[in-house]
Amino acid sequence: MSNFLQFTVFGIMLGAGYAIAATGLVVTYTTSGVFNFAQGAVGMIAAFGYWELVSAHHVPVLAALVIVLILGASICGAFVERVLMRRLHGASAERPVMVTLGLMVILTGMATILWSPTTQRTVEPMITGQFSLVGINIQVQYVLIIAVAIAVAIGLRALFYTTRTGYALRAVVDDPELLGMSGVSPNRMSQYGWILGFMMAALSGVLLAPTQTTGINIEAMTLLVVSGYAAAIVGRLKNIPVTFAAAIAIGLAENYVLNYVEPHLPANLQTDMTSALPMVFLFIALVTLPSVRLRAVGRLTSMKAPRVAGGRESLVAGAVFLVVAVVVAFAFADTNIKGTTLLTLGGMVLTLAIVGLSLVLLTGYSGQVSLCQFSFMGIGAFIMGKVAGGGSLLGLIAATAICAGVGALIAWPTVRLSDLYLALATFAFADAVATGFFSDGHIYGAGGLMVGRIVLPGLSLGSDTAEFLLVAVFFVLCAWLVLAIRRSLFGRRLVAVNDSPAAYATVGLDIGFTKVAVFAIAAGMAGLAGGLYATVQQIVGTTDFDIFPGIIFVLFVTIWSIRTVSGAFLAALTYVVLNQLWPSSIGIFAGIGIILIGRAAGGILGIEALHVRLPWVKAPSGTSDPSGHLTAFGGTALATEGSRAAG
């Protein structure tokens, strides 16, 4: 009984920490219509900043709290709203998701530079000591966290429902123009919301940091409040009391599972469950809530249907690309960069470009935001190494087919979700797979999983040159497939789903089948890329397909253009080059890039001044559309959102 009480107290304390972060999410979303994916990263920065002040520079606790919460968090919240979020007014629905993800990777990248991940840092409790109650010892720090969480929930509830400022904060998203006519500045109200949200995130990070007995870790602290995400979803991103209760329930459930269920699991699964459990809670919360409750408040804008290059242009461009690939393969066959052949790096670029193509199909055409394409890539690499001993075409087929099946299973319960909620669901799946599957030493092995080069009867593909050309062929085939799908009736349906799901369903078309089908195709394509990536690298490990590299790559595709084939290729090229030159800063580059393009839905390649007509492409008839102009890269039009309207 004493153990149960001890677990209950710790679970309530943990849930209280989640509740503080979750209420901050609710405040931000209520006042701006934006879900802040960087909430955990803000808490992480606050925790490390608090450690820096108190432990490294011996600043008094109260002074450190004032600096971190009042000065740091409030100023940063006001800055983010004024410089980043205010520019997103009227932007497409996925843009705020990408910008807050960019902010998250910027903060984690900065933390990696400022505080070396190899150094252990332990945060002391703000109030030391313990006392005995009903036979159990309770840390005073736990009581402090619970008391602060209750005070925050009551205070915010009173603010929103009993004060004129609270009414204005709740009204700013629904009708900012009407609010402005009443004499209240909508921009100021939105800024207040971001200040409060950042302060709640910082407070949760500072309070939960002392509970990390093994020390604070950048990635762990960033993802620590994911259970708070689940609580905010249960509260429908607007109900603070329900959010608080859900956070406490999740904290209790998490602690009970870890203490009563985990000890009975095999030793190799215990760590996996500890890491994946918060993401599992988030995924369950998303897929089990009634769909009527999952209505985004964010601002939506209608977008013109993407245009795609014609069949002849695609074939010519593909042939030109392969000719260029052959020239590169033989001209740079013996070139090495930092111990890696240039052709191996080129193979990595092309395999990642295939992942980018899956995002073009899934997000660019159908509007489904997925953050788990690297997860399918990792599953494909694992299957490639296990089927037929690796290095077999059968492995590629299996990787593609199994990932497509897994993608369909993931998509089926999430078909009613859109925009923010689908992004959250795929975020949860990606981290659960990374921490619960890829990190298991039995999956890839202690030294990584060895994968051989593909062997065909009578044909040797073991050299880097042959492997590069093989991957180039697969990239061109996948590009043709994506463009052919876009030109087809199914492709026009994808655009219709993106433009107006309600209208699509009204005319009698099955929106669920369309979403599951495109998700499965994109997952299969990512699995194929994973299998090819494994043959290029010849060894894959536990960190190759982590959640943060996956998010960073999505940002790069969005920066260049998530609606074009060339955007996928240039994103892969940028990712590999920067990862070779400045690996510790690649997240900062991605975050800054996504923020700089602001509202540009077409990315860099959507900028009118960059459009060039290629010689084999017919001029479009009728009124020109920026998204339909041609973008040159490397002498090919594979990359174009092109000259001929689909249908």
The 10s digit of each residue's pLDDT in 231-272 is 888 888 888 899 999 999 999 988 888 888 877 776 666 666
CATH number at residue 525: 1.10.3470
In the DSSP assignment, the letter for residue 539 is: E
Indicate the range of 37-51, 102-116, 607-621 predicted with least confidence: 607-621
Please report the pLDDT score of residue 254 as a whole number: 86
Whether 622 has a pLDDT exceeding 60, the answer reads no
Same domain, 407 and 540: yes
125: left (phi over 0), alpha (psi -120 to 50) or beta: beta
CA angle 25, 29, 34 (to 5 degrees): 110
User: Considering its fold, how many domains does the chain have in total?
Assistant: 2
Pairwise CA distance, residues 95 & 88, whole Å: 7
Residue 541 forms part of a structural domain: yes
Pairwise CA distance, residues 344 & 537, whole Å: 7
146 vs 446, higher pLDDT:
146
Residue 469 forms part of a structural domain: yes
Mean pLDDT value of segment 58-70: 93
289 vs 153, higher pLDDT:
153
Distances in Å between the Cα of 28 and the Cα atoms of 25, 413, 451 are 5, 27, 46
Whether 6 has a pLDDT exceeding 80, the answer reads yes
pTM of the predicted protein model: 0.87
Distances in Å between the Cα of 481 and the Cα atoms of 400, 401, 476, 485 are 14, 16, 9, 6
446 vs 605, higher pLDDT:
605
What is the per-residue DSSP string for 58-119?
---HHHHHIIIIIIIIHHHHHHIIIIIIGGGTT--THHHHHHHHHHHHHHHHHHHHHS-TTS
Residue 305 forms part of a structural domain: no
Please report the pLDDT score of residue 554 as a whole number: 94
In the DSSP assignment, the letter for residue 16 is: H
Same domain, 61 and 188: yes
Pairwise CA distance, residues 416 & 296, whole Å: 12
Whether 5 has a pLDDT exceeding 90, the answer reads no
pLDDT digit string, tens, across residues 568-596: 999 999 999 999 888 888 999 999 988 88
Which helix (H) or strand (E) covers residue 207, if one does? Answer: helix 186-208
Please report the pLDDT score of residue 269 as a whole number: 64
- 10 Å Cβ neighbour count for 7? 17
In the chain, pLDDT over 90 holds for what percent of residues? 38
Mean pLDDT of the chain, nearest integer: 83
Whether 456 has a pLDDT exceeding 50, the answer reads yes
Domain endpoint, select from 168, 195, 225:
225
Please report the pLDDT score of residue 91 as a whole number: 61
Domain endpoint, select from 191, 225, 259:
225
Are 375 and 429 in contact by the 8 Å Cβ rule? The answer is yes
Are 258 and 273 in contact by the 8 Å Cβ rule? The answer is yes
Whether 319 has a pLDDT exceeding 50, the answer reads yes
Mean pLDDT value of segment 508-512: 74
- 10 Å Cβ neighbour count for 593? 18
Provide the 3-class DSSP secondary structure of residue 456: strand
Same domain, 364 and 491: yes
Which helix (H) or strand (E) covers residue 137, if one does? Answer: strand 136-139
Residue 144 forms part of a structural domain: yes
Which helix (H) or strand (E) covers residue 340, if one does? Answer: strand 340-341
Mean pLDDT value of segment 512-541: 92
Domain endpoint, select from 560, 586, 612:
586
Same domain, 212 and 349: no
Whether 646 has a pLDDT exceeding 50, the answer reads no
User: Where residue 408 falls among pLDDT bands split at 50, 70, 90?
Assistant: very high
In the DSSP assignment, the letter for residue 627 is: G
Whether 629 has a pLDDT exceeding 50, the answer reads no
Residue 314 forms part of a structural domain: no
Residue 248 forms part of a structural domain: no
Please report the pLDDT score of residue 180 as a whole number: 76
Whether 452 has a pLDDT exceeding 60, the answer reads yes
634-637 long-range CB contacts below 8 Å, 24 or more apart? 634/321, 634/324, 634/569, 635/320, 635/324, 636/317, 636/318, 636/320, 636/321, 636/324, 636/566, 637/309, 637/313, 637/314, 637/316, 637/317
Same domain, 509 and 365: yes
Per the structure, the complete domain to which residue 163 belongs is given by: 20-116+135-225
Are 428 and 282 in contact by the 8 Å Cβ rule? The answer is yes
Pairwise CA distance, residues 232 & 426, whole Å: 17
pLDDT digit string, tens, across residues 192-234: 999 999 999 999 999 999 988 888 999 888 988 788 888 888 8
What token pair was written down for 392? 């077999």
Largest pairwise CA distance in the chain: 83
Same domain, 431 and 551: yes
Please report the pLDDT score of residue 171 as a whole number: 80
Residue 602 forms part of a structural domain: no
Mean pLDDT value of segment 509-523: 88
Are 47 and 206 in contact by the 8 Å Cβ rule? The answer is yes
Same domain, 171 and 29: yes
Whether 556 has a pLDDT exceeding 50, the answer reads yes
Pairwise CA distance, residues 621 & 220, whole Å: 54
Please report the pLDDT score of residue 90 as a whole number: 60
Please report the pLDDT score of residue 627 as a whole number: 38
Query: Can you say how many angstroms the Cα of residue 463 is from the centroid of all Cα atoms in its chain?
Result: 35
State which of 373-377, 388-392, 602-606 shows the largest mean pLDDT: 373-377
Whether 636 has a pLDDT exceeding 50, the answer reads no
Mean pLDDT value of segment 602-608: 74
User: Where residue 634 falls among pLDDT bands split at 50, 70, 90?
Assistant: very low
Please report the pLDDT score of residue 137 as a whole number: 81
Residue 111 forms part of a structural domain: yes
Mean pLDDT value of segment 313-340: 88
Provide the 3-class DSSP secondary structure of residue 136: strand
